[in-house]
Amino acid sequence: LSNYPVLKVKMKSFNKSKSLNVEMDLVDAAGQSTNLSPVFDFTPLIDDGAYYKYTFDFQNQNGWKSGLGNVDKTRINKINLFIDYGIFAQVASDSLWIDSLWVEPITTNPTVPNRPSHLKGTINGNQLQLSWQDNSANEDGFKLYRSTSSNGVFSLVGTYAPNATQATLTRNPADPTYVYQIISFNSAGTSDLSNLLASFDSVTDIKEMRSDISIFPNPSNGKFSILTQGAACEFIVVRNSLGQIVHQQVMTGETTLDLSELSRGVYFLTITTGHSNITKKISIQ
């Protein structure tokens, strides 16, 4: 790491229990490990379910300490990754994916900002109220995009000032289901895209329904029972994490939902009435 002291890790997680902790140690050829260094924690952990690039700049980290002495950064030959799910972790809800690790040289050029994360939406009448987490200190602003599908063509919706974390859009109930993503930008370029937000993830006027609908067991092996307890529910749509419809059926009273043919993971179940929707996350183990 003498000439390439910037280590980057591309990783994603949901961390629904908020108990997931990830740390990393470097080990040199003599077996010395950076197990006393505080700079190898993945904090804050970006847990919106989309890939995020973590950057560790070791250029100015002096005296990488281990239990037995300093670590030789010219002879790093191993990476130890520690993943602690905590006592409240749940299968699928706290899953962790690591795509790649690589090193880069130090550059004096301006760097692109980190991507915003945790894009969320709430429907309030004819308005869609969006919010996101700003993970950068060097952005010149944000750009919001939308499309009618997760793999479709995205068009610019609006541009927002630096440090902004929310926006309000006017919506028409007759509009199609849009998928939203947001980026940050500066003179060096644009960040990666945020997590996907589909309008079916947004909360609508369903407070009176929320206590009337039960889904059990959840997680399950793919077979769920849905009890409406008097709510006038009509239709069920199940989407994967990309917003793609993977199942749909008519619903009356207590309904058995068989999704055992689907892969393990998290899905979004939308129950439709004559005037509103409610979306819940379900997990197949």
Domains of the chain: 6-104 (no CATH), 117-201 (2.60.40.10), 207-284 (2.60.40.3080)
Where does the pLDDT of residue 204 fall: very low under 50, low under 70, confident under 90, or very high at 90 and above? very low
* Of 43, 36, 45, 40, nearest in space to 12 by CA: 45
Phi and psi torsions of 86, nearest 5°:
75, 170
Question: Mean of the pLDDT values across residues 22-40?
Answer: 80
pLDDT surpassing 60 at residue 273: no
Question: Mean of the pLDDT values across residues 94-104?
Answer: 87
Degrees, nearest 5: CA angle 225-15-95: 75
Question: Mean of the pLDDT values across residues 24-41?
Answer: 80
Give the tens place of pLDDT for each residue, 145-163.
Answer: 998 877 778 999 999 999 9
Laid out side by side, the sheet with 117-124 consists of 117-124, 127-133, 166-170
Instruction: Specify the residue for token string 């892969």.
Output: 263
Pairing of strands 141-147, 179-186: antiparallel
- The pTM score is 0.66
* Of 257, 170, 265, nearest in space to 213 by CA: 257
